[in-house]
């Protein structure tokens, strides 16, 4: 028997699911206020979507994808990230023919074959948003402000917004040459992965997690110093828009996103309180991705925010997510008549919005009341032959242990009122 979940995956059990539901609800509300609508795309896609769309020099595409052939021998990949799928759907459904921009959000599982550790899983979950159809930096500032206000609204105070520009393919060419010149004398000391990156995409070396490479890139030429006029103006515009909205940020020329498709804006929200895996949210602009995937030449911008890391940050900030309310009413019963009456009353109360339970194990009265206690019931009633004959029930307030006699004709309304429904 297999009773262990696969390495790098995690069950979210009922006793902690309220935390997930809480942040997801907040996120939905935030997206709604900002005019983003939910999109649901399949959990798997044709592998090509990622090998072409995500670019082929990133760790994600090269080493981390869950790829397999289905029974018809098609290569299928479990989504390692959200953007490529949303772009594919945007193109497939010709949403670009509608009035732009298109603003969408999603809540999805992502799959990456990584080395599992705190804040790094093989199946993790992302909250994400995308704006398609505009290259204007108002859109970049809008999505950054959404992430900022979402984190703020959750009570998180220790995350810092870092922004950068990684330019366009034009200005990146010059930077690439300068970077290679800088790294050439250090080539032998680079890690094996970075040796491979040197020719194909040296920018990624700046993002290497190995301490040796991190040391070697100290003082390397930074993309910010190589921006063309267009990219430079866009970056100034972004800073201006963020300042206008009152969003504090720092410029971090070291930010290189984990996916190749980014252009111009790159940003991260980083916490210093959850160790090495401190990036809670990462995003940026991708002006060429939609056309790379086969759509029209339309720009886009978006972010992905890891739910597991978000919960870690909230914990580190001492933020207590409100636990769900316990049940309002518990109906204890004796005998068949009591059971029948109780089940009818339970159904009516539930339909009226009162959280009501009975003991479906049908324990004896003492056991039922013990169970009611376990459930944290606010009120209990006991019903048996006597009560039904006399048409009165004993209603017990579990908080102050007081009890009152309530007419069988009134009990439903009394409980509805007590539950505040």
Q: If binding is defined by CB under 6 A, does position 260 make contact with ligand ATP?
A: no
Task: Kindly list the distances between the CA atom of residue 7 and the CA atoms of 11, 13, 119, 190, in Å, as whole numbers in the listed order.
Answer: 11, 17, 14, 30
# residues near ligand ATP by CB under 6 A: 19
For ligand ATP, the closer CB: 151 or 242: 151
| Binder of Mg ion out of 119, 167, 202, 258 (CB under 5 A) | 258
The dihedral over CA atoms of 303, 307, 308, 313, expressed in degrees to the nearest 10, equals: 80
According to CB under 6 A, which residues from 308 to 367 bind ligand ATP? 308-309
Q: Does 80 bind Mg ion (CB under 5 A)?
A: no
Nearest to 152 by CA among 247, 239, 265, 25: 247
Residue 101 makes contact with ligand ATP by CB under 6 A = no
Q: DSSP class of residue 6?
A: P
Residue from 280, 298, 383, 393 that binds ligand ATP (CB under 6 A)?
A: 280
Among 79, 103, 112, 175, binds ligand ATP (CB under 6 A): 112
Q: Which stretch binds ligand ATP (CB under 6 A): 114-122, 334-342, 364-372, 380-388?
A: 114-122
Count of CA atoms in the C-beta half-sphere (13 A) of 328: 17
According to DSSP, the residues that pair with 406 across neighbouring strands are 393
CA distances in angstroms from 330 to 18, 30, 45, 365, 410, listed in the order given: 22, 36, 48, 12, 16
Q: Is 277 in the site for ligand ATP (CB under 6 A)?
A: yes
- Cβ closest to Mg ion, residue 120 vs residue 339: 120
Contact stretch for ligand ATP (CB under 6 A) within 221-229, 278-286, 324-332, 391-399: 278-286
* Contacted by 132, from ligand ATP, Mg ion, none: CB < 5 to 8 Å by type: none
Check residue 236 and give left, alpha or beta (phi > 0: left; psi -120 to 50: alpha).
Answer: alpha
**Nearest distance in Å: CB 258, Mg ion:** 5
- The CB-side HSE value for 401 (13 A sphere, CA atoms) comes to 0
Query: With binding defined as CB under 6 A, does residue 279 bind ligand ATP?
Result: yes
Give the pair of three-digit tokens for residue 391.
């048409």
Q: Are 158 and 273 in contact (CB under 8 A)?
A: yes
Q: Is 70 helix (H, G, I), strand (E, B) or coil?
A: coil
Residue 235 three-state SS = helix
Q: Closer to ligand ATP at the Cβ: 84 or 349?
A: 84
Q: Residue 121 touches which of Mg ion, ligand ATP, none (CB < 5 to 8 A by kind)?
A: ligand ATP
| Residue 143 binding target from ligand ATP, Mg ion, none, CB below 5 to 8 Å by type | none
Residues that bind ligand ATP (CB under 6 A): 81, 112, 114, 119-121, 124, 126, 258, 277, 279-282, 304-306, 308-309
Residues that bind Mg ion (CB under 5 A): 258
């Amino acid at each position: 028997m297999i009773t262990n979940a696969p390495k790098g995956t995690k069950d979210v059990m009922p006793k902690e699911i309220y935390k997930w539901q809480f942040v997801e609800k907040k996120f939905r509300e935030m997206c709604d206020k900002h005019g983003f609508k939910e999109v649901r795309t399949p959990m798997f896609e044709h592998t090509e979507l990622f090998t072409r769309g995500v670019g082929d020099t990133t760790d994600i595409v090269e080493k981390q994808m869950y790829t397999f052939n289905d029974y018809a021998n098609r290569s299928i990949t479990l989504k390692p990230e959200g953007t490529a799928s949303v772009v594919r759907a945007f193109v497939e459904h010709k949403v670009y023919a509608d009035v732009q921009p298109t603003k969408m959000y999603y809540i999805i599982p992502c799959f990456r074959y990584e080395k599992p550790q705190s804040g790094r899983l093989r199946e993790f979950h992302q909250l994400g948003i995308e704006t398609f159809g505009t290259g204007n930096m108002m859109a970049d500032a809008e999505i950054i402000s959404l992430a900022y206000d979402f984190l703020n609204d959750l009570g998180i105070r220790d995350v810092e917004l870092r922004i950068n520009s990684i330019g366009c393919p034009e200005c990146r060419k010059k930077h690439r040459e300068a970077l290679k010149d800088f790294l050439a004398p250090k080539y032998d000391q680079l890690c094996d992965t970075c040796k491979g990156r040197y020719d194909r995409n040296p920018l990624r070396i700046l993002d290497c997690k190995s301490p040796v490479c991190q040391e070697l890139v100290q003082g390397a030429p930074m993309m910010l110093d190589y921006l063309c006029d267009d990219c430079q103006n866009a970056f100034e515009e972004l800073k201006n828009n963020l300042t206008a909205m009152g969003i504090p940020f720092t410029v971090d020329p070291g930010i290189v996103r984990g996916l190749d498709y980014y252009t111009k804006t790159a940003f991260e929200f980083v916490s210093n309180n959850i160790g090495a895996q401190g990036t809670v949210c990462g995003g940026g602009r991708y002006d060429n991705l939609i056309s790379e995937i086969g759509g029209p030449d339309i720009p886009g911008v978006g972010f992905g925010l890891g739910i597991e890391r978000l919960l870690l940050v909230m914990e580190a900030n001492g933020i207590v997510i409100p636990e769900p309310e316990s049940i309002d009413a518990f109906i204890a019963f004796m005998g068949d008549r009591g059971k029948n009456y109780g089940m009818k009353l339970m159904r009516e109360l539930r339909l009226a919005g009162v959280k009501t339970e009975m003991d479906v194990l049908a324990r004896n009265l003492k056991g039922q009341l013990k169970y009611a206690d376990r459930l944290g019931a606010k009120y209990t009633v006991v019903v048996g032959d006597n009560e039904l004959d006399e048409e009165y029930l004993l209603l017990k307030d579990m908080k102050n242990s007081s009890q009152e006699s309530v007419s069988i004709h009134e009990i439903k309304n009394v409980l509805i009122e007590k539950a505040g429904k």
